[in-house]
């Protein structure tokens, strides 16, 4: 399998990337898969100019000659795409959103209406074989009212992908929290194994991965310096 990981954390020691790396250990235990990990912050990817030049050429590439075209080539050739990123202002970090915006060369101007009435652009090729997984970490202890807009955006853009939204992820880089972080990393590894077999995650597995590491009240008290 070809696996493309789009890491949207700008940090060297990313909480979310630790989860994704644990997941990959389970998914690719014997290095049998071709895995491309892109640290988007290190790439030269300009924001979309909105020129629709890609819809004139229709070759699956952007008219801006930067690193996005390499991503588009890998995107098309991948079996699995993992979007791994921290939640920023209830959405994706802006440098990763630029990557998402610039997948527009993968669709045509032509619009199609789906049976449920929604309107979409027709895909440039058949991308139905691509399995998308979203792994998102965040700093709040809750996910209600925090991940809602991101969930909706990913559902619409990626066609109902598997999504794992993990609260309290800064605990992953707190040495004193290793006692609760290590079991979560182990659960991610196991989830990677499951995904390797089924190319999806069960509701039960997702619930296990999204379970807060410590109760919200304790987390908030610690963040607030014990107050
Ligand atoms: C600009 C910015 C916006 C953020 N917005 C949110 C947010 O809307 N909700 C939330 O729970 N955490 C938010 N956070 C916290 C990060 O999601 C959290 O620190 C995460 O663990 C960072 O993951 P990383 O280490 O993988 O980059 C924000 C952080 C930054 C820097």
Structure tokens at 181: 């972080």
Q: Give the residue whose CA is nearest to atom 31 of ligand 1.
A: 88
Q: What is the pLDDT of residue 67?
A: 98
Q: What is the pLDDT of residue 64?
A: 98
Q: Give the residue whose CA is nearest to atom 22 of ligand 1.
A: 86
CATH number, position 147: 3.40.50.360
Calculate the average pLDDT of the chain.
96
Residue 186, classed as helix, strand or coil, is helix
How many distinct structural domains can be found in the chain?
1
Give the range of the structural domain holding residue 92, as residue numbers without chain letter.
2-223
Rounded to whole angstroms, how far apart are CA atoms 81 and 107? 17
Q: Report which of residues 227 and 119 the model is more confident about.
A: 119
pLDDT digits (tens, 9 = 90+) for 171-187: 999 999 999 999 999 99
pLDDT digits (tens, 9 = 90+) for 99-147: 999 999 999 999 999 999 999 999 999 999 999 999 999 999 986 789 9
Q: What is the pLDDT of residue 127?
A: 93
Give the residue-averaged pLDDT of 193-219.
Answer: 97
Q: Give the residue whose CA is nearest to atom 15 of ligand 1.
A: 139
Rounded to whole angstroms, how far apart are CA atoms 30 and 219? 37
227 confidence band (pLDDT: 50, 70, 90): confident
Q: Give the residue whose CA is nearest to atom 4 of ligand 1.
A: 88
Give the residue-averaged pLDDT of 3-18.
Answer: 97
Structure tokens at 92: 């994706």
Q: How far away, in angstroms, is 22 Cα from ligand 1 center?
A: 20
Q: How far away, in angstroms, is 97 Cα from ligand 1 center?
A: 15
**Ligand 1: does its nearest atom lie under 6 Å from the Cβ of 15?**
yes
In ligand 1, the atom with minimum distance to the C-alpha of 140 is 11
In ligand 1, the atom with minimum distance to the C-alpha of 13 is 25
Burial label for 70, CB within 10 Å (0-12, 13-18, 19+), is: middle
Identify which of 7, 87, 164 to mutate to test ligand 1's pocket (most ligand atoms within 8 A of the CB): 87
pLDDT digits (tens, 9 = 90+) for 50-86: 999 999 999 999 999 999 999 999 999 999 999 999 9
Rounded to whole angstroms, how far apart are CA atoms 155 and 160? 4
**Ligand 1: does its nearest atom lie under 6 Å from the Cβ of 169?**
yes
Give the residue-averaged pLDDT of 193-215.
Answer: 97
Rounded to whole angstroms, how far apart are CA atoms 124 and 37? 24
Q: What is the pLDDT of residue 97?
A: 98
Is residue 195 within a helix (H) or strand (E), and if so which, with residue range? helix 178-198
Q: How far away, in angstroms, is 136 Cα from ligand 1 center?
A: 10
**Ligand 1: does its nearest atom lie under 6 Å from the Cβ of 143?**
no
**Ligand 1: does its nearest atom lie under 6 Å from the Cβ of 75?**
no
pTM (2 decimals)? 0.97
Q: What is the pLDDT of residue 142?
A: 83
Q: How far away, in angstroms, is 21 Cα from ligand 1 center?
A: 18
pLDDT of 196 above 90: yes
Give the residue-averaged pLDDT of 7-34.
Answer: 97
Greatest pairwise CA separation for the chain in angstroms = 59
């Amino acid at each position: 399998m070809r696996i493309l990981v789009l890491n949207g954390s700008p940090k060297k020691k990313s909480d979310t990337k630790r989860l994704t790396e644990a997941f990959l250990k389970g998914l690719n235990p014997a290095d049998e898969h071709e895995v491309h990990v892109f640290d988007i912050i290190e790439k030269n990817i300009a924001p979309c100019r909105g020129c629709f030049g890609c819809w004139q050429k229709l070759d699956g590439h952007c008219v801006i000659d930067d690193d996005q075209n390499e991503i588009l080539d890998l995107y098309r050739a991948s079996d699995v795409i993992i979007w791994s990123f921290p939640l920023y202002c209830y959405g994706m970090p802006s440098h990763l959103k630029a990557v998402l915006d610039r997948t527009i060369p993968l669709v045509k101007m032509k619009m199609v209406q789906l049976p449920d009435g929604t309107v979409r652009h027709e895909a440039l090729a058949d991308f139905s074989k691509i399995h998308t997984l979203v792994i998102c970490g965040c700093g709040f202890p809750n996910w209600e009212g925090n991940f809602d807009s991101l969930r909706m955006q990913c559902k619409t853009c990626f066609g109902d992908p598997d999504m794992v939204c993990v609260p309290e992820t800064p605990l992953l880089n707190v040495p004193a929290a290793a006692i609760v972080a290590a079991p979560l990393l182990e659960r991610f590894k196991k989830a990677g194994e499951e995904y390797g077999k089924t190319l999806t995650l069960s509701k039960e597995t997702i619930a296990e991965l999204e379970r807060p590491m410590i109760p919200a009240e304790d987390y908030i008290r610690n963040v607030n310096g014990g107050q």
